[in-house]
Structure 1
Amino acid sequence: MKRLFLVEPLVALYAFANFLIYPLVQQYVYRRIWLQVTNTTYPISDNTSSCLPNSNSSNEVQRQASLFSLYTEISSTVPSLVVTLILVAYSDQGGRKIPIIIPLIGTMIYTLAYLTVSYFELNIYLLIGSSILSALCGGWGTFLGGCFAYIADLCKDDHQKTLRMAGVDMMIGLLSGVAAISSGYFLRAAGFNWPFLTSSFILFFNILYAIFILEETVKKTPNDAIISDGVPQCSAIKQMICGVCQMPIGTSHRWKAVLALLIISFTSFSFAYVGGLSTVILYELKQPLCWTEILIGYGSALSLTVFLTSFVGVSVFTYCGVPQLLIVLLGILSVISGMVMAAFAKTTLLMFTRIPMLLAIMPFSVLRAMMSKIVPKSEQALFAFLSFMESLTNNVSTGVFNSVYAATVAWFPGFVFLLSAGLCVIP
Structure 2
Amino acid sequence: MPLPARCVAALTVLRHIEPILVLEQLGSSLYDTALQMIVRDRSANATYPDAHLSRQDSQQKAISDFYMTYNLINQLTPIIPALLLARLGDRGWRRVPIVVPLSGYLLSRLALLLVVIFRLPLEVMFGAAVLFGLSGGFCAYWPGVMTLASLGSTESGRSKALMKVELLYGMAGLVGSLVSGHLFLLYSSNLGHGTVLLTISALLHLLCLIHSIVLLQVKQIKQSEAEESPNLLGPFSRPAPVEAPAEKNMVNMVLLFVAAILYVSAVGGGVEILAVFVLKEPLSWTAAQVGYGNAAGCLIFITSFLGVTVFRRCVSDVMLILIGMLSFASGIYFMCFVRTTYMFYLARSLNLFALIPMPTIRSLLSQQVTASSCGTTLTCLQLVLKFAGLAYIPAFTKIYQKTLDWFPGFVFMLSSIITVLAMIPISIVGCRSRQKRQQYERIQGE
Q: What TM-score does the superposition give when structure 2 sets the normalisation length?
A: 0.81
Matched residue, 2:121: 123
| Preserved contact between residue 331 and residue 359 of structure 1 (Cα < 8 Å) | yes
Letter in 1 for 2:302: L
Matched residue, 1:24: 34
Q: CA deviation at 1:345?
A: 0.5
Matched residue, 2:205: 203
User: Does residue 6 of structure 1 match 2:16?
Assistant: yes
Matched residue, 1:255: 249
Q: CA deviation at 1:80?
A: 1.1
State how far apart, in whole Å, the 1-side matches of 2:148 and 2:416 are.
Answer: 33
Matched position secondary structure for 1:358: coil
User: Does residue 91 of structure 1 match 2:97?
Assistant: no
Matched residue, 2:377: 382
Matched residue, 1:323: 316
| Preserved contact between residue 139 and residue 379 of structure 2 (Cα < 8 Å) | no
C-alpha change, 1:77 and 1:366, in structure 2 (3 Å) is closer
| Preserved contact between residue 248 and residue 368 of structure 2 (Cα < 8 Å) | no
Q: Relative contact order (C-alpha < 8 Å, sep 6+): which is higher? A: 1
Q: CA deviation at 1:194?
A: 1.2
Letter in 2 for 1:401: F
| Preserved contact between residue 63 and residue 409 of structure 1 (Cα < 8 Å) | no
User: Does residue 300 of structure 1 match 2:294?
Assistant: yes
Matched position secondary structure for 1:374: coil
Q: CA deviation at 1:107?
A: 1.0
State how far apart, in whole Å, the 2-side matches of 1:142 and 1:8 are.
Answer: 17
Pick the aligned partner of 1:265 from 247, 259, 277: 259
Q: CA deviation at 1:71?
A: 1.6
State how far apart, in whole Å, the 2-side matches of 1:381 and 1:79 are.
Answer: 18
Matched residue, 2:278: 284
Letter in 1 for 2:57: N
Pick the aligned partner of 1:418 from 403, 413, 421: 413
State how far apart, in whole Å, the 2-side matches of 1:24 and 1:409 are.
Answer: 25
State how far apart, in whole Å, the 1-side matches of 2:374 and 2:248 are.
Answer: 19
Matched residue, 2:76: 78
Q: Residues 201-256 of structure 1, C-alpha deviation per residue, up to 9 Å, x if partnerless?
A: 000000111000011458xxxxxxxxxxxxxxxxxxxxxxxxxxxxxx95336711
Pick the aligned partner of 1:180 from 169, 177, 180: 177
State how far apart, in whole Å, the 2-side matches of 1:178 and 1:398 are.
Answer: 28
- Flag structure 1 segments of 5+ consecutive residues without an equivalent: 39-54, 219-248
State how far apart, in whole Å, the 1-side matches of 2:33 and 2:406 are.
Answer: 25
Q: CA deviation at 1:72?
A: 1.6
- Flag structure 2 segments of 5+ consecutive residues without an equivalent: 1-7, 188-192, 221-242, 423-446
Residues 184-193 or 285-294, more deviating: 184-193
State how far apart, in whole Å, the 2-side matches of 1:202 and 1:401 are.
Answer: 33
Q: CA deviation at 1:397?
A: 3.0
State how far apart, in whole Å, the 1-side matches of 2:329 and 2:58 are.
Answer: 29
| Preserved contact between residue 69 and residue 399 of structure 1 (Cα < 8 Å) | no
Q: Residues 135-170 of structure 1, C-alpha deviation per residue, up to 9 Å, x if partnerless?
A: 101112311100111122222x22222111000011
State how far apart, in whole Å, the 2-side matches of 1:211 and 1:75 are.
Answer: 27
User: Does residue 168 of structure 1 match 2:165?
Assistant: yes
Matched residue, 1:399: 394
Matched position secondary structure for 2:377: helix
| Preserved contact between residue 85 and residue 387 of structure 1 (Cα < 8 Å) | no
Letter in 1 for 2:266: A
Matched residue, 1:348: 341
Q: Sequence identity, in percent? A: 25
Q: Residues 148-205 of structure 1, C-alpha deviation per residue, up to 9 Å, x if partnerless?
A: 11122222x2222211100001111111111111111111233211111111100000
Q: CA deviation at 1:5?
A: 4.3
Q: Residues 308-359 of structure 1, C-alpha deviation per residue, up to 9 Å, x if partnerless?
A: 100000111112x211111111111101111011111011111111221110
Matched position secondary structure for 1:203: helix
Letter in 2 for 1:390: L
User: Does residue 335 of structure 1 match 2:328?
Assistant: yes
C-alpha change, 1:297 and 1:334, in structure 2 (3 Å) is same
State how far apart, in whole Å, the 1-side matches of 2:179 and 2:336 are.
Answer: 26
Matched residue, 1:215: 217
State how far apart, in whole Å, the 1-side matches of 2:119 and 2:370 are.
Answer: 51
The runs of at least 4 aligned residues of structure 1 exceeding 6 Å deviation read none
Q: CA deviation at 1:303?
A: 1.4
| Preserved contact between residue 63 and residue 407 of structure 1 (Cα < 8 Å) | no
Cα-Cα RMSD: 2.1
State how far apart, in whole Å, the 2-side matches of 1:29 and 1:86 are.
Answer: 33
Matched residue, 2:367: 373
Matched position secondary structure for 1:289: coil
Matched position secondary structure for 1:309: helix
Q: Residues 243-275 of structure 1, C-alpha deviation per residue, up to 9 Å, x if partnerless?
A: xxxxxx953367110111011111211111111
Letter in 1 for 2:35: V
User: Does residue 136 of structure 1 match 2:127?
Assistant: no
Q: CA deviation at 1:396?
A: 4.3
Residue-pair matches, total: 380
Q: CA deviation at 1:87?
A: 1.0
State how far apart, in whole Å, the 2-side matches of 1:68 and 1:163 are.
Answer: 37
Matched position secondary structure for 1:123: coil
State how far apart, in whole Å, the 1-side matches of 2:29 and 2:186 are.
Answer: 18
State how far apart, in whole Å, the 1-side matches of 2:248 and 2:150 are.
Answer: 24
